[in-house]
Amino acid sequence: MKIEILGTGCAKCKTLEAVVKEAVAKSGKFVQIEKVDDLMEIMKYQVVSTPGLVIDNKVVSTRRVLSVEEVLSLINERL
């Protein structure tokens, strides 16, 4: 599984990245985390309002900073 955090470097994007790292650590699963700040890459996903969250090439959330629990359940749903 691969989780990507899309964001150009605003405060919310950094918060989301930290949340994802914590959720992955809690899940105990092997998950690849990647922070995407290249605009072209972000645009490929058609995300207009950052931060965006992408799991296995699928956009699961935009604009929001999810909670650790929400990210955890997103991970568990897909494994």
Partner 1 sequence: MFEWLHDLSSWALFDIFGLAKESHLGEAVHFFIYDTIKIFILLILIIYLVTILRSYFPVERARAYISGKHKITGHILAALFGVITPFCSCSAIPLFLGFLQARIPLGVTFSYLISAPLSDAVVIALLLSLFGWKIALLYVGVGLLIAIVAGLIIGTMNLEKEILIEVKPVDVVSFNEEKITFSNRAKEAWEYTEDIFKKIYLYVIVGVGIGAFIHGYVPADFISKYAGGDAWYAPIIGVAMGIPMYSSAAGILPLVEVLTQKGMLLGTALSFMMAVVALSLPEAMILKRVLSLKLIAIFFGVVGFGILLVGYLFNIIL
Q: Just list the catalytic residues.
A: 10, 13
Q: CA 42 to CA 59: how far, in whole Å?
A: 11
The reply to whether 73 sits near partner 1 by the rule CB under 8 A is no
57 binds partner 1 (CB under 8 A): no
Nearest to 6 by CA among 60, 58, 50: 50
Q: Which of residues 30-49 bind partner 1 (CB under 8 A)?
A: 39-40, 42-43, 46-49
Cα-based distances in Å from 41 to 2, 5, 6: 15, 11, 8
* Total count of residues recorded for the chain: 79
Q: Smallest gap, in angstroms, from Cβ of residue 30 to partner 1? A: 26
Binding residues vs partner 1 (CB under 8 A): 8-12, 39-40, 42-43, 46-50, 60-64
